């Protein structure tokens, strides 16, 4: 059992707390039972698993399943687990996995980018928001999501946890140029809808049944003017007097479920 915080493996896993460390090692940090279950269910390539004796005893089948997929398996002390985890109260297991992030260059360039509804996020900074949006997009039947390069890291451990496992399944790509993405969509007949607080139309007023790319912006300043200008339509989300704005993940949920409602009631 690993009990020393100075162990080389412990030091290497701790480096995955930072964006630089994840890029250098090309690894992700997976924390918690549920995320490990989802990674195994999605057959995501694991590398190392570390569990406390108590956790291993309580989750023997999951431990065996995950261990069979790993290059290295270690039982660790509770103190070591706390050092390698980013959460304040880790539940007993931490794993590392290969860092596989999708970029447009790694996707087929031919064919329709969207046939239903998708999201493009510009400069979203909160990892909890991004993870929640991924989870919500999957739940609402969205097709895919694009993320600007100046947004929070897609491989941030909190993004993975907040996605409740959908990170492994839902198509997300980091886009080097959302303006170019918008132009590609429009060239394919996909309408582009920008969320803007002072828009004259609400999201209820727009027809979301055709293929649609929805643009959502930064938590504090929203979408940049040049991206708004490219959109086919601008919509707001009606707010009661005195309420300044909605959380971006909540805004995404409202629009995605409105798109789902319209499709279900079509005809």
User: What pLDDT digit, counting tens, does each position of 206-221 carry?
Assistant: 999 999 999 999 999 9
Distance CA(105)–CA(70), nearest Å, equals 29
Mean pLDDT of 81-109: 84
pLDDT in tens, 122-155: 999 999 999 999 999 999 999 999 999 999 999 9
Query: Can you tell me the mean pLDDT for 253-261?
Result: 97
Whether the pLDDT of residue 184 is over 60: the answer is yes
Q: What is the pLDDT of residues 37-86, one digit of tens each?
A: 999 999 999 999 999 999 999 999 999 999 999 999 999 999 999 999 99
State yes or no: pLDDT of 203 exceeds 50: yes
pLDDT of residue 104: 56
For 155-166, what is the mean pLDDT? 96
Q: Report in angstroms the alpha-carbon separations of 3 from 14, 17, 76, 93, 241.
A: 15, 20, 6, 15, 57
Residue 103: the pLDDT is 57
Q: To the nearest whole percent, how much of the chain has pLDDT over 90?
A: 93
Report the distance separating Cα 172 and Cα 180, nearest Å: 17
Extended strands (E) in the chain = 27-31, 46-51, 72-75, 93-98, 117-121, 145-148, 172-175, 191-195, 201-202, 212-216, 233-236
Strands 27-31 and 93-98, how do they pair?
Answer: antiparallel
- Comparing 95-109, 186-200, 220-234, the range with the smallest average pLDDT is 95-109
Residue 38: φ, ψ to 5°:
-70, -40
Residue 73 pairs in a beta bridge with 49
Mean pLDDT of 157-167: 96
Instruction: Give the mean pLDDT of the chain.
Output: 95
Cβ neighbours of 31 (radius 10 Å): 21
Q: Report DSSP state, residue 16.
A: G
Write down the pLDDT at residue 110: 65
* Residue 109, pLDDT above cutoff 70: no
Give the DSSP per-residue string, 128-145: HHHHHHHHHHHHTT---E
Whether residue 262 is predicted with pLDDT greater than 80 in this model: the reply is: yes
Q: Which of 133, 265, 141 is nearest to 207 (CA)?
A: 265
Q: What's this model's pTM, rounded to 2 decimal places?
A: 0.93
Residue 106's pLDDT band (cuts 50, 70, 90)? very low
Widest pairwise Cα distance in the chain: 65
User: Which neighbouring-strand residues pair with 50?
Assistant: 74, 94
Alpha carbon distances (Å) from 174 to 15, 102, 119, 120: 23, 7, 12, 10
Q: Report, as an integer, the average pLDDT of 241-245.
A: 89
Mean per-residue pLDDT for 90-104? 88
Ordered by where they begin, the domains of the chain are 8-98 (3.30.1330.30), 104-264 (3.40.1280.10)
Q: Please say if the pLDDT value at position 105 is more than 90.
A: no
pLDDT of res. 138: 97
């Amino acid at each position: 059992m690993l009990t020393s915080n100075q162990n080389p493996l412990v030091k290497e896993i701790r480096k995955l707390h930072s964006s630089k460390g994840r890029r250098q090692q090309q690894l992700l940090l997976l924390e918690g039972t549920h995320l490990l279950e989802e990674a195994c269910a999605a057959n995501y390539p694991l590398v190392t698993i570390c569990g406390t004796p108590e956790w291993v005893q309580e989750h023997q089948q999951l431990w065996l399943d995950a261990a069979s997929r790993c290059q290295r398996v270690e039982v660790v002390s509770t103190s070591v687990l706390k050092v390698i985890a980013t959460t304040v109260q880790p539940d007993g297991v931490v794993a590392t996995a290969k860092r596989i992030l999708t970029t447009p260059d790694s996707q087929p360039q031919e064919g329709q980018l969207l046939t239903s509804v998708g999201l493009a996020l510009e400069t979203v900074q909160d990892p909890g928001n991004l993870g929640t949006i991924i989870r919500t997009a999957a739940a609402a039947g969205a097709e895919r999501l694009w993320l600007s390069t100046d947004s929070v890291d897609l491989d941030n451990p909190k993004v993975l946890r907040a996605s409740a496992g959908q990170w492994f399944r839902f198509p997300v790509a980091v886009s080097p140029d959302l303006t170019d993405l918008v132009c590609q969509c429009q060239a394919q007949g996909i309408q582009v809808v920008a969320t803007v607080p002072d828009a004259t139309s609400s999201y209820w007023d727009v027809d979301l049944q055709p293929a649609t790319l929805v643009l959502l912006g930064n938590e504090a300043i929203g979408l940049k003017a040049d991206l708004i200008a490219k959109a086919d339509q601008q919509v707001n989300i009606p707010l009661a007097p005195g309420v300044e704005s909605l959380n971006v993940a909540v805004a995404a949920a409202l629009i995605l479920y409105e798109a789902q409602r319209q499709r279900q009631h079509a005809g």
